[in-house]
Amino acid sequence: MIMDYPIRINKYIRDRGLASRREADKLVDDGLVLINGKISEKGDMVNKEDHVVLKENKKEYKYIAYYKPCGLS
């Protein structure tokens, strides 16, 4: 895929297939995106020579078991 630079950070992340644009905005707000080693902000522009890093975002899952009593449908 050919990108026209400079490009907004959320569009860059989306075009790389890492997240949707809204998800990318959330990642930027949470401080999980670095451009050249600095935490990015919404609206930051990325150039071809910039190094973009997405910190690992671990999701926490909760599993709940429900046992329904006999005779209950």
Task: Quote the percentage of the chain above a pLDDT of 70.
Answer: 93
**Res. 52: pLDDT tops 90:** yes
Mean pLDDT of the chain: 89
Q: Which of 24, 58, 57 is nearest to 41 (CA)?
A: 24
- Contact between 29 and 21 under an 8 Å Cβ cutoff? The reply is no
Residue 11 Cα distances to 56, 60, 66, 70, angstroms: 19, 26, 42, 53
Q: What is the pTM of this model?
A: 0.71
Q: How many helices (H) and strands (E) does the chain have?
A: 2, 5
Over residues 57-70, the mean pLDDT reads 82
22-48 pLDDT tens trace: 999 999 999 999 999 999 999 999 999
Question: Sign (positive/negative) of CA torsion 41, 47, 37, 59?
Answer: positive
At 2 the pLDDT is 76
